[in-house]
Structure 1
Amino acid sequence: MSDHTGAEPEVIERESMEFDVVIVGGGPAGLSAACRLMQQATESDQELTVCVVEKGSEVGAHILSGAVIESRALDELFPDWKTMGAPLDTPVTKDQLFLLKDHEKATQIPDMLIPATMHNKGNYIVSVGNLTRWLAEQAESLGVEIFPGFAAAEVLYHEDGSVKGIATGDMGISAAGEHKDGYMPGMELHAKYTLFSEGCRGHLGKQLNERFDLSKDADPQHYGLGLKELWDIKPELHQEGLVVHGSGWPLSDGTSGGFFLYHAANHQVVVGLIVDLNYSNPYVSPFDEFQRMKHHPVLKQYLEGGKRVCYGARAITKGGLNSLPRMVFPGGLLIGCDAGTLNFAKIKGTHTAMKSGMLAAEAVFDAIKQGDEGGQQLTGFESAFETSWLYEELHAARNFGPALHKYGAYLGGAFNFIDQNIFKGKLPFTLHDTEEDYAQLRHAKTSATIDYPKPDGQLSFDKLSSVFLSNTNHEEDQLCHLTLKDSSIPLGTNLPLYAEPAQRYCPAGVYEVLENDEGEPTFQINGQNCVHCKTCDIKDPSQNIVWVTPEGGGGPNYPNM
């Protein structure tokens, strides 16, 4: 179990470091903010100290995305990115969209009926992990300090309640809560302003949202779980630049989502499935839906005879503008997917995350340049955001997700075609989706069980062999980072009411319901398997699981993802 009763470790005073700006998370938003800050400092000949804290073992280790990206934000940040060697080497050459009717049949949607936002002409198939590694190189060359392997575990506050910075997590505390040999206390990083760019469902962002009531005027945030694999395929089956999207089978019973298959460079494809986390049947297993989906001829034609080389999973924020919290608070900002800037109508979040980071950097730099000593509310960001192309894009897409949730794939798709292609996102009304994803789960007794086929080891696989390909590892003897508010709820509430869905919605086999020698159920948490997807923190129907950071450097280590 995750709650522990070990002895309280000795408190050791933490050392501190001072910066002008601290950025939590080395993803596209955080690194774009870091680069833009230092560009402005160089242009103004002003000294500026900026650091980025990244919980992964290296920048890019925890980055998982489709991904087809627009270069719009990158064009602004580094106009000469092509000559600088940015890893955008595979332009999209062709788009296909399918509706899978059953396990064999599919209908290809004509281009003229596809929502305009889903066309990918001019975009690139990329590894966002490799893009962030490149951005980190640019940031360091500009003078940014980057600390990989250190997890931001705590928000620090001034006496007036404004954000003071963060503290990294202690290293070397046992599962019993005792100091081990080599114990190292966390470090405090103080800043005039702190930018939080932890990605979807950031655990510090979640705390800040609650403390400052940032979402009081917003719809509930909505999420999807994205599962992805990287494959080496037969050269004769490879069509570099081909982008395939689709929806339909095998998702059913009100479960919505969509698949992607992108032909990247070097005879590789990335294939994945996004399952919306508002599904209602507790027997749904997104992982197993993904595995059986790959047997459909639309996907099988490319994967058959190939070799799977990597696997990963990550939740995405998809509520869009309607669910966007207020991003500013005294002493800092939420940016990127920590706030929820992904454009679900485009199924893209990299360019929007980057732009949010750049806008934040400009607001912070202006404040510091004017002599601001920090701790203020950056109202300049809000006005800059509302007059930016980022806001314009999110506003035009505001009805896309709610339409699909309210009306389903067919009617919702028709609405979105009219909204995006004819009215260009300017219909004079806004649809809302006000029910939390976790609250939409039905009781098990009113739900149909799902009999998933066994994996064949060629196209479909089990969870443990998949987690192995994510290169996931955590220091074994440490406090469990998957904490329970009440340890009785999994078996006392979730098991009888929902057949304990954690054992199915988790894509890494972290949660299991086992039997002890007396034949009684026990709840087991395999924290070593965790790929940091955050699905449990989102979908638990009792909202009893709280994801906190493990020791820095733990988790997946994604290459080329």
Structure 2
Amino acid sequence: MTQVERESMEYDVVIVGAGPAGLSAAIRLKQLDSDLNVVVLEKGSEVGAHILSGAVLDPSGLNALIPDWKEKGAPLNVPVKEDNFLVLGEAGKLRLPNWIMPPLMNNHGNYIVSMGNVCRWMAEQAEELGVEVFPGMACSELVYGDDGALKGVVAGEFGKNPDGTPGPNYEPGMVLYGKYVFLSEGVRGSLSKEVIAKYRLAADCDVPKFGLGMKEIWEVKPENHNEGEVTHTMGWPLGWKNSGGSFIYHLDNNQVYVGYIVDLNYKNPYLFPYMEFQRFKHHPEVAKLLKGAKRVAYGARAVTKGGFQSIPQSAFPGGALLGCSVGLVNLPRIKGNHNAMLSGMAAAEAAVKAIKEGRANDTLADYDVALREGPVGKDLKRVRNVAPLNGKLGPVGGLALGGFDMWFQSIFKFSLFGTLSHGKTDAKATEAAEKHKPIDYPKPDGTLSFDRLTNVSFSMTNHEEEQPCHLQLQDPSLPISVNLPEFAEPAQRYCPAGVYEVVEEEGKDPRFVINFQNCVHCKTCDIKDPSQNINWVTPQGGDGPNYPNM
């Protein structure tokens, strides 16, 4: 493709992604210096359209950013009133007493929220301070200076043909230059991957680890609703070889968030995370809750779980990684939004200092130090061994020793284990199909459980079909020549939206089909593909899911 001529605009700080990290950075920048020119670019059709989180929010990040958030009408309306942790068998349950759980697991003082709605509110606060927020503006390319530093992004490119050439209605987009560029794309962002590789930011850290989180919103009968109740489960149906578990959160208006997280370090390529989630809802405890209820939304998203030892260098020449682009989820608490907000604030403070000192496009070393040694690092360091213990010992051993480690650190402020490593990436954890047996999953009944394509329709996902496929295969032959015979092509199963198919017709060779229109932007394929052959890049702005209250 020939060089495209683009108009450009200059800003002090350009922020990619209107999630809690990016919006916190924008707000903090303007709080510190109202004269700064700050822009936030969001690929979703509106702020919140691509936000999916549990979510029980620890308000510590919001308290630090906007102390008077209650007076300003932040949508934190459901305080946690009841905390349950259940171990499930196929037909029964065992409730673990709250006193046995480490203190950091207590949800007292937290809120059940829609993070999509929280981000919509945060965007309003940012705009009131003078931040420019542009939804529907996907950032498709990074712009570097002659010195190798990041200088800006290309945003708002539309109208390419499927082969990548400009179509009849092609719009080249604009270059937005910044003294600093913040990448807050969430898990496994395409631009974040690029800078991590370019600047070797992960050279000195452990491998990243992930889970796949799937979530539905249900309207339940009033008699089954208990506003403020939080329940987490482990055990059935995943069992004791694979780690993961569920969350059930009762918010207001008789609505309940029902979700399931499957850690992506599983070995069996026949495991079908989406069907594990659907099967979970048939447990008597869950089926009782959902009797006569109505499912109103569905979505899925990868979750970072590597923790403290997997954090790459977060600052690089010209920019910084924020929130889940760095990987700041506290795994046992299943919380990362507060750390995302705190990371955005820390990056903003480092950038304001640098700009006042006349520096631009250098490395914000102060930010990386603040992230590791400040409240975020302290929050993650005390739980750093939970994921490695789960990976090495399975859920039971991980629960026992991980719980002991958290209790011990809460008292003695250090770990007897030191810092454990994760070992293999999630892609390399996948074993050959010949070592495992296919799993027979019950057919969805259409009442409690649903097929993938039906559920995807409840995510309001849409992509312009006449654009390049954003799920790029480095070698188009590998799915059939390698993944199918060696791993039974697990893309057919690990994708929670039914994007990937192996089509086998009599008398013809198998074909690998990518239905990219179904993609909910979870990034699981980019993480779990055993050949690491799939590269997720951003489609044009406004495409993808349109989550209402996730």
Shorter-chain TM-score range: over 0.9
SS in 1 for 2:344: helix
| Structure 1 residue 117, shift from structure 2 partner | 2.6
SS in 2 for 1:82: coil
SS in 1 for 2:71: helix
| Structure 1 residue 11, shift from structure 2 partner | 4.4
Which residue identity lines up with residue 130 of structure 1 in the other structure?
A: N
Provide the C-alpha distance between the structure 2 equivalents of 1:456 and 1:435, rounded to a whole number of angstroms.
37
Q: Is the 1:257–1:276 Cα contact (8 Å) retained in structure 2?
A: yes
Q: Is the 1:253–1:281 Cα contact (8 Å) retained in structure 2?
A: no
Indicate how the Cα distance of structure 1 residues 11 and 160 shifts in structure 2: closer, same or farther if over 3 A, else same: closer
TM-score by length of 1: 0.96
Partner of 1:36: 28
Q: Are residue 62 (structure 1) and residue 62 (structure 2) matched? A: no
Provide the C-alpha distance between the structure 1 equivalents of 2:497 and 2:51, rounded to a whole number of angstroms.
16
Provide the C-alpha distance between the structure 1 equivalents of 2:368 and 2:152, rounded to a whole number of angstroms.
21
TM-score by length of 2: 0.98
Q: Work out which of the residue numbers 497, 520, 524 in structure 1 matches 2:513.
A: 524
Partner of 2:421: 432
Q: Is the 1:27–1:63 Cα contact (8 Å) retained in structure 2?
A: yes
Overall identity of the aligned pairs, in %:
54
Provide the C-alpha distance between the structure 2 equivalents of 1:325 and 1:34, rounded to a whole number of angstroms.
22
Q: Are residue 190 (structure 1) and residue 177 (structure 2) matched? A: yes
Deviations along 1:470-513, one digit per CA (max 9) or x if unpaired, are 00000011100000000000000000000000000000000000
Which residue identity lines up with residue 465 of structure 2 in the other structure?
A: E
Q: Work out which of the residue numbers 399, 420, 431 in structure 1 matches 2:385.
A: 399
Partner of 2:135: 148
Provide the C-alpha distance between the structure 1 equivalents of 2:470 and 2:409, rounded to a whole number of angstroms.
47
SS in 1 for 2:549: coil
Q: Is there any run of 5+ residues in structure 1 with no aligned partner, and where?
A: 1-7
Equivalent residue runs for 1:5-404 within 5 Å: 8=1, 11-42=3-34, 47-102=35-90, 104-168=91-155, 170-252=157-239, 254-372=241-359, 374-404=360-390
Partner of 1:474: 463
Which piece of structure 1 moves more, 507-516 or 80-89?
A: 507-516
Q: Is the 2:61–2:341 Cα contact (8 Å) retained in structure 1?
A: yes
Which residue identity lines up with residue 513 of structure 2 in the other structure?
A: Q
Which piece of structure 1 moves more, 152-161 or 111-120?
A: 111-120
Q: Is the 1:229–1:310 Cα contact (8 Å) retained in structure 2?
A: yes
Which piece of structure 1 moves more, 427-436 or 231-240?
A: 427-436
Q: Is the 2:242–2:394 Cα contact (8 Å) retained in structure 1?
A: no
Q: Is the 1:154–1:169 Cα contact (8 Å) retained in structure 2?
A: no
| Structure 1 residue 230, shift from structure 2 partner | 0.3
Deviations along 1:208-230, one digit per CA (max 9) or x if unpaired, are 11111111111100000000000
Q: Work out which of the residue numbers 387, 409, 428 in structure 1 matches 2:395.
A: 409
Deviations along 1:321-346, one digit per CA (max 9) or x if unpaired, are 01000101011100100010111121
Deviations along 1:381-435, one digit per CA (max 9) or x if unpaired, are 1332344111111111111211221222222211122222233162141111121
Indicate how the Cα distance of structure 1 residues 128 and 57 shifts in structure 2: closer, same or farther if over 3 A, else same: same
Which residue identity lines up with residue 24 of structure 1 in the other structure?
A: V
Provide the C-alpha distance between the structure 1 equivalents of 2:131 and 2:317, rounded to a whole number of angstroms.
23
Which piece of structure 1 moves more, 415-424 or 89-98?
A: 415-424
| Structure 1 residue 353, shift from structure 2 partner | 0.5
Deviations along 1:274-332, one digit per CA (max 9) or x if unpaired, are 00000000001110000010000221121111000000000011101010001010111
SS in 2 for 1:483: strand
Partner of 1:4: none
Deviations along 1:191-249, one digit per CA (max 9) or x if unpaired, are 00000000000111011111111111111000000000000000111000000001111
Which residue identity lines up with residue 396 of structure 1 in the other structure?
A: R
Which residue identity lines up with residue 122 of structure 1 in the other structure?
A: G
Provide the C-alpha distance between the structure 2 equivalents of 1:458 and 1:383, rounded to a whole number of angstroms.
50
Which piece of structure 1 moves more, 176-185 or 387-396?
A: 176-185
Deviating beyond 3 angstroms after TM superposition, the runs of 4 or more aligned structure 1 residues are none
Provide the C-alpha distance between the structure 1 equivalents of 2:198 and 2:225, rounded to a whole number of angstroms.
50
Q: How many residue pairs are counted as aligned between the two chains?
A: 547
SS in 1 for 2:440: coil
Q: Is the 2:408–2:414 Cα contact (8 Å) retained in structure 1?
A: no
Which residue identity lines up with residue 37 of structure 1 in the other structure?
A: L
Which residue identity lines up with residue 191 of structure 1 in the other structure?
A: G
Which residue identity lines up with residue 381 of structure 1 in the other structure?
A: Y
Q: Is the 2:456–2:518 Cα contact (8 Å) retained in structure 1?
A: yes
| Structure 1 residue 517, shift from structure 2 partner | 5.4
SS in 2 for 1:559: coil
Q: Are residue 551 (structure 1) and residue 532 (structure 2) matched? A: no
SS in 2 for 1:448: coil
Indicate how the Cα distance of structure 1 residues 169 and 496 shifts in structure 2: closer, same or farther if over 3 A, else same: farther
Which residue identity lines up with residue 458 of structure 2 in the other structure?
A: L
Provide the C-alpha distance between the structure 1 equivalents of 2:254 and 2:70, rounded to a whole number of angstroms.
22
After superposition, the CA RMSD in angstroms is 1.2
